[in-house]
Amino acid sequence: MANTKSAIKRIRTSEKKRLSNRWFRTQTRTYIKRARAHIEAGQVEEAKKSAAQAIRALDKAAQKGVIHKNNAARRKCRLMRDLNQAIQAAEA
């Protein structure tokens, strides 16, 4: 257990930050999962909307420092690659 005032405060602030980060991470995962489900189902219009939401969530998480900016960029790239393949498959 912490002995000093600063250590006790650090524990409190770390816990607040952890809960905030968890919320952003969960939201991001949810949006990505939703977008992937639409892509796999072949619902192109819904997939576009949900991919936009997922990208917005990833950017916000990277901006807040919840995930690294390169991690967000990699996830966005993979999501858009899959979306573009689904769009091409729907057109063909």
Count how many domains the chain has: 1
| Closest listed residue to residue 32, CA positions, set 61, 12, 4, 5 | 61
Q: Is 65 left (phi over 0), alpha (psi -120 to 50) or beta?
A: left
Is 1 domain-assigned?
Answer: no
pTM confidence score: 0.86
Q: Is residue 29 part of a domain?
A: yes
Range of the domain at 39: 17-91
Share of residues in the chain with pLDDT > 70 (%): 100
The CATH number of residue 25's host domain is 1.20.58.110
CA dihedral 73, 24, 26, 48 (to 10 degrees): -50
- For the packed helices 5-41 and 44-64, what is the interaxial angle rounded to 10 degrees? 160
pLDDT at residue 2, as a whole number: 83
